[in-house]
Amino acid sequence: MPSTSERMQRKDNPAYLAESSAFGPEDDRQKMLEERATELARAYDVLRNSVERVSADQGIGAILDAFLLEAMSFTGAAGGEIFTVRDGFFDRTVCVGQDGRIVPFAEWKDEPIYIESPTVWNRDPASVSARLMQTVISVNGIDPLASWWPAAHAYHEKRGHVQTWNVPFVSRGQLMGYLCLAFRDHRPLTEMNTVTLTALAQQAALAVDLTQIAAKASDAAIASERAAAAERRAETLERLNRIMQNALAQLTEDPVRDDFLAQSLALCADQLGAAGVSVWRRNPVTRVYEMAVNVECDAARASASAHPGLDGAEPMVPVLEPYEKGKITTHHASQLFSLPASASYADYIASRDIQTVMSVPLFLGETLLGLMTLRFCNDRTLTPEEEDLVHSLVNQSVLALELTRLSRSARVSAVLEERRRMAREIHDGIAQAFLGIILQIERGRQSDDIAARDARLLDLARHGLADARRAVEALRPQSLSSHDLPRAVAQLLQQEVSRLGFTPVLEVSGQWMPLEADRELHLYRIVQEAVNNVASHAHATELRVEISSNPDEVSILIVDNGVGFPASAPGDRGFGMESMHQRAALAAATLSVLSQPGRGTQVFVAADRRQGRFAPRAA
């Protein structure tokens, strides 16, 4: 490839011809020399400015912006752009200029020429690079662009450009990018333009090359550090995962165990190297925090003071509220004693040589439940992995506090439910027995058979006493204790014959397979309530009970031919109807009651065996 000076001296070089024709008679030489001196001075200023910008260690974008403006100003170009190349392929459009200014990215980013540049270039990168590097500067009209790059042709035509100069940036024998200058007129390429633009291009190539080398080195360093960090993070996360798995395994074994949170705190404190961890429960009314759990990891130091919050002796005033969800607040030694605190807390901090205290709020949704504090005997900061561990511990603390609250609430609910169950048992057993006695006494007033009446009253009283004893002892019908559900229902119907005035019919289909004891009890009570309603209100002459059993379901149908009641009435029939629906829900069964005035009543209950747990009855 010929050198720059050789190419400039060729007779067919436009710059050479232009310079040769410019020298005319002797009286014009002085003028030409003055113009040349002025042009050299301008070129010197351009190069000096570009060198200063490179030396100023500006970013590559700012450097190339300046190169483009200098080139446009020096040559009188109407527009221009600088493209960079990486490893032979188009990299990106760095800057665009038009009419003496750098065009902001937002104004040119959607131009088709710049969107299509990578596609056009990368079709044949080697050919494009070779063509650009053939000459120092190539001068082209825009018309040829129409055939192979329509978007570029349209771009230049729209702006009145008729000619382009393309200046390659070459470093270490590789194409690093190029400068394209666009003109609104055809103009010759002078030697001064060539020399100046070539010098600018060399500086630009050097800047791009150094930037790419630095980027590659940085990428390699970053990749290496990321790989090392990923390995460290994987090891840490594996340890943390084991800790979380152990804690959750403990929770699975016993969801309401009192030491679950303490075990989790101890495991994580050991991982973090903390001297102690505490969880405080917040009183939403007083905004005072009471200690729920405290773990000291250096318990062997017998001389150290105990935490003042232990045993509820000294609650903590929320000096830092409002807390920000997810934020870990850190106080170091120099700040600890400036916080409002009790003398006993200051003694505790001093005796254990605490240097850092971290506080993390415990939120459930938007509700502040409490606070977790971690204490360290060194000036401590947390790594991202350790912060993840703390946040996991926060989640477990919230879970533990909520489980404790729900456990307490469940105990209260259990007491209330037991009271409701007692009410049902008294109603279904003892109350019905006394109701039967009352009915027998009223009927006995109209009967002359006093002995028979007394016998029935005695029988009812005995059953009432038996129900009372059963309610006190186990709240379970005695007949169910010794018989399966069909036999217990049969015994119940036999006992009600005297109250009904006729013998009810019991039909059992399918081989009986026992349900859980509690479910059988609830189904029995539903039958008992339905039969009691027939005896008390229906004035029926027929009653039929059908019990069906199969591997999937148990169903019971109670049908009478009594007076019935309107569809709106069941909810107004007192505790009995409500008790039947409650029993069905507790038995995981469905209950329907159909009745019309004068057409009797049907009660149907069905229990899906899959909703419960199959438990064979003990012999």
Q: What is the pLDDT of residues 163-197, one digit of tens each?
A: 999 888 887 777 888 889 999 999 998 877 887 78
344 domain-assigned: yes
39 and 105, same domain (yes or no): yes
Beta bridge partner(s), residue 373:
278, 359
190 and 296, same domain (yes or no): no
Tokens of 436: 């039967």
Distance CA 85, CA 88 (A): 6
Residue 593, pLDDT score: 92
Pairing mode, strands 505-509 and 543-549: parallel
Distance CA 187, CA 189 (A): 7
306 and 369, same domain (yes or no): yes
32 and 175, same domain (yes or no): yes
How far from the centroid of its chain's Cα atoms is residue 550's Cα?
Answer: 46
Query: Where among 363, 392, 421 does a domain terminate?
Result: 392
594 domain-assigned: yes
Residue with tokens 């019309």: 596
Task: Report the domain count for the chain.
Answer: 3
Q: What is the pLDDT of residues 342-372, one digit of tens each?
A: 667 777 778 888 889 888 888 877 788 888 8
Q: What is the pLDDT of residues 56-72, one digit of tens each?
A: 545 777 878 888 888 89
What is the rounded average pLDDT of the residues 216-244?
A: 61
Residue 165, pLDDT score: 93
Q: Within the chain, how many helices (H) and strands (E) appear? A: 21, 16
Nearest to 506 by CA among 538, 547, 562, 541: 547
∠534-540-544 over CA atoms, to 5°?
70
524 and 618, same domain (yes or no): yes
431 domain-assigned: no
315 and 207, same domain (yes or no): no
Query: Where among 217, 251, 279 does a domain terminate?
Result: 217
Residue/partner pairs of 244-251 with CB below 8 Å, 24 or more apart: 244/392, 244/396, 247/396, 251/399
Distance CA 325, CA 327 (A): 6
432 domain-assigned: no
367 domain-assigned: yes
- Whether the pTM exceeds 0.85: the reply is no
Count of CB atoms within 10 A of residue 349's CB? 20
Peptide bond into 551 cis (omega under 30): no
Query: Where among 163, 186, 217 does a domain terminate?
Result: 217
Residue 570: give the domain boundaries. Answer: 482-619
Q: What is the pLDDT of residues 235-253, one digit of tens each?
A: 655 665 565 556 555 555 5
176 and 264, same domain (yes or no): no
Q: In the structure, what pLDDT confidence band is assigned to residue 267 with cuts at 50, 70 and 90?
A: confident
Residue type at position 124: D
User: Which CATH number goes with the domain that contains 73?
Assistant: 3.30.450.40
Residue 490, pLDDT score: 93
Distance CA 569, CA 537 (A): 13
Q: What is the pLDDT of residues 511-549, one digit of tens each?
A: 999 888 888 888 998 998 899 889 888 899 999 999 999
